[in-house]
Structure 1
Amino acid sequence: MKKESSTNTLNAQELYETCGMAIALRILGGRWKPGIIWHLGHSRMRYSQLKALIPNISERMLVQQLKELEKYGFVERFAFPEVPPRVEYALTDEGKTLIPIVQSLNEWGNGQREKIKLPV
Structure 2
Amino acid sequence: MKKASDRKIPLNLQCGLDLVGEVLYGKWKIRLLWFINQGHRRPSQLNKKIPDASRRVLTIQLNELQQHDLITKTVYPELPPHVEYHLTPFGETLIPVISAIGQWGDEHEQKLRKLITAEE
Q: Normalising by structure 1, report the TM-score.
A: 0.83
Aligned residue for 1:48, secondary structure, equals helix
Q: Aligned ranges for residues 1-120 of structure 1 at < 5 Å?
A: 4=5, 8-9=9-10, 12=11, 15-16=12-13, 18-43=14-39, 45-116=41-112, 117-118=115-116, 119=119
Give, in angstroms, the shift of residue 81 of structure 1. Answer: 1.0
Aligned pair count reads 115
Q: Tell me the secondary structure at the aligned position of residue 110 of structure 2.
A: coil
Distance 1:31 1:6, change over 3 A: closer
Distance 1:110 1:8 in 2: 34
Q: Which runs of 5+ in 1 are unaligned?
A: none
Equivalent position amino acid for 2:71 in 1: V
Amino acid in the other structure paired with 1:23: L
Unpaired segments of 5 or more residues in structure 2?
none
Distance 1:7 1:84, change over 3 A: closer
Residue 27 of structure 1 deviates from its aligned partner by: 1.5
Q: Percent identity?
A: 33
Any runs of at least 4 consecutive aligned residues in structure 1 with deviations exceeding 4 A, and if so which? none
In 1, Cα distance between the equivalents of 2:56 and 2:6?
30
Contact 2:29 2:61 in 1 (8 A): yes
